[in-house]
Amino acid sequence: MGAKIIDGKEIASEIIEEIKLHINQFKKDIRPGLAVVLVGDDEASRTYVDMKEKMCHYVGIHSRVIKLDSTITEKELLQVIQELNADTEIHGILVQLPLPKHINEFTINESILPQKDVDGFNPVNIGNLQLNRASFIPCTPKGIIQLLKKVGIEIEGKEALVVGRSNIVGKPTADLLLNENATVTICHSKSKDLQKLCLRSDIIISAVGSPGLITDDMIKDGTVIIDAGTSMIDGKLVGDVKYDLCYKKAGYITPVPGGVGPMTIAMLMKNTLKAAKEAEEAV
């Protein structure tokens, strides 16, 4: 008997329909607006932006995609963001990552107003997350916690391992797990004996982008595995987990694709609706 598959696509679809219903009721007064800034011509980034734009149209969010040349200066990009900060039709601002090397990612994230930072990367929102205060939570970590809750997995008191320490997924996921009263370990490329850390964990969340990193001999029976890693191999999207092997041993597992990915976009829509509601209440 294999693991129970956590169908992120199905769960995200349910959340999207709820968001669509709320927006249809809400936009009688104001229509939520999301601006996505795309710098350069990275193929993966273009694909992600197209998916976000398509979802905005579906749920009823006003979508504005701003495509900029990779040679744009940091100063020019900051000016674009300042204009969006001042635009009352735009409630959420997202700058698609990665950015060209000559542009400081931290400076750009810091320039987005916290109340329009639907990606949750502004230092103010990061600080609020660590303090367990209301804020905009990064979409992928928020989606991961939602997946766990939607299938009824108890987080409190569990040993949770986060593999990866990125500012986008690893660190905020660890913060969210701590806020849910899990005992959390973060490991990374300098950590010793990953297998030992995995074997003691009830929940493993891997977000490295290293295909086949987590294997069946590294997990105990019944482990919950959330695979947030993505890599392309021979044109196919794969995760960090040896799915076919770990499926036989895990209690719950997410597939790649179809696990965490759909939840990320659903949480972006949710954050945009939240930003619009808060903007309306502030008037």
Extents of the domains making up the chain: 29-113, 138-261
Residues that are catalytic: 52, 96, 119
- Per-residue pLDDT tens digits of the chain, which is 283 residues long: 689 999 999 999 999 999 999 998 876 678 999 999 999 988 888 999 999 999 999 999 999 999 999 999 999 999 999 999 999 999 999 999 999 999 999 999 999 999 999 999 999 999 999 999 988 999 999 999 999 999 999 999 999 999 999 999 999 999 999 999 999 999 998 899 999 999 999 999 999 999 999 999 999 999 999 999 999 898 899 999 999 999 999 999 999 999 999 999 999 999 999 999 999 887 6
Is the C-alpha dihedral spanning 22, 28, 29, 34 positive or negative?
positive
Query: Is the CB of residue 140 less than 8 Å from the CB of residue 264?
Result: yes
- Model pTM? 0.95
Per-residue DSSP letters for the chain?
--PEE--HHHHHHHHHHHHHHHHHHHTTT---EEEEEEES--HHHHHHHHHHHHHHHHHT-EEEEEEE-TT--HHHHHHHHHHHHH-TT--EEEEPSPPPTTS-HHHHHHHS-GGG-TT--SHHHHHHHHTT-S-PPPHHHHHHHHHHHHTT---TT-EEEEE---TTTHHHHHHHHHHTT-EEEEE-TT-S-HHHHHHT-SEEEE-S--TT-B-GGGS-TT-EEEE---EEETTEEE-SB-HHHHTTT-SEE--SSSSHHHHHHHHHHHHHHHHHHHHHHH-
Query: How far, in Å, are 85, 269, 271 from residue 93 at the CA level?
Result: 8, 12, 10
Separation CA 242–CA 216 (nearest Å): 7
Separation CA 142–CA 59 (nearest Å): 19
CATH number for the segment(s) 138-261: 3.40.50.720
Query: Is the CB of residue 160 less than 8 Å from the CB of residue 177?
Result: yes
CATH architecture of 29-113: 3-Layer(aba) Sandwich (3.40)
Assign residue 151 a region (left: φ > 0; alpha: ψ between -120 and 50; beta: otherwise): alpha
> Do the first three CATH levels of 29-113 and 138-261 match, i.e. the same topology?
yes
250 φ/ψ angles, rounded to the nearest 5 degrees: -75, 160
Give the pLDDT confidence score for residue 1 in this predicted structure.
65
Separation CA 138–CA 182 (nearest Å): 19
Separation CA 113–CA 38 (nearest Å): 18
